[in-house]
Homo-oligomer: A and B are copies of this chain.
Amino acid sequence: MRIGELAHRTGVTTRALRYYEEQNLLTAERSSSGQRHYAEDAVERIRLIRQLYAAGLNSKTVAELTPDVVDGRATPQLLQRLDAERDDLDQRITDLIRTRDRLDSVIRGASANMHTGARCPRIADA
């Protein structure tokens, strides 16, 4: 499939796809005239890339974690990187849960007081 279809099927722009290629996150066959052609599995690869971006990784890190043309054998170094990123991610999840709980307690306090007309606890004190 060509770039437009891949873009449409993954919900990202063609500009983003070219950017991913520039960052070595994605490769493409080229037709004789120079147009990019992608296989089916590119769709899933884009999803993976987006997922890792959403997890806060930058393109360099994503490239390091997803070597796509090596022989499928993990090096100890790669394993170590994966482990480190997993732990980072875990820490961020913990922090976000804490933040969510803090929001929850503010919301509970505020909505309870809405009816009584009492003052709400200041969000900073939650």
Contacts and interface: CB of A to CB of B under 8 A. Distances in A.
Contacts of A54: 92, 95-96, 99
A110 B76 CA distance: 9
A103 B124 contact: no
Contact of A93 (B41, B68, B86, B97): B97
Interface residues of A, number: 48
Contacts of A113: 73-74
Count this chain's copies in the assembly. 2
A122 to B, nearest CB: 6
A29 to B, nearest CB: 17
A85 B113 CA distance: 20
Interface of A: 41, 44-45, 48, 51-52, 54-55, 65-66, 68, 71-74, 76, 78-79, 82-83, 85-86, 89-90, 92-93, 95-100, 102-104, 106-107, 110-111, 113-114, 119-125
25 contacts: A48-B124, A51-B102, A54-B95, A54-B96, A54-B99, A68-B122, A68-B124, A71-B119, A72-B119, A73-B119, A74-B110, A74-B113, A78-B110, A79-B107, A79-B110, A79-B114, A82-B106, A82-B110, A85-B103, A86-B104, A86-B107, A89-B99, A89-B103, A93-B100, A96-B96
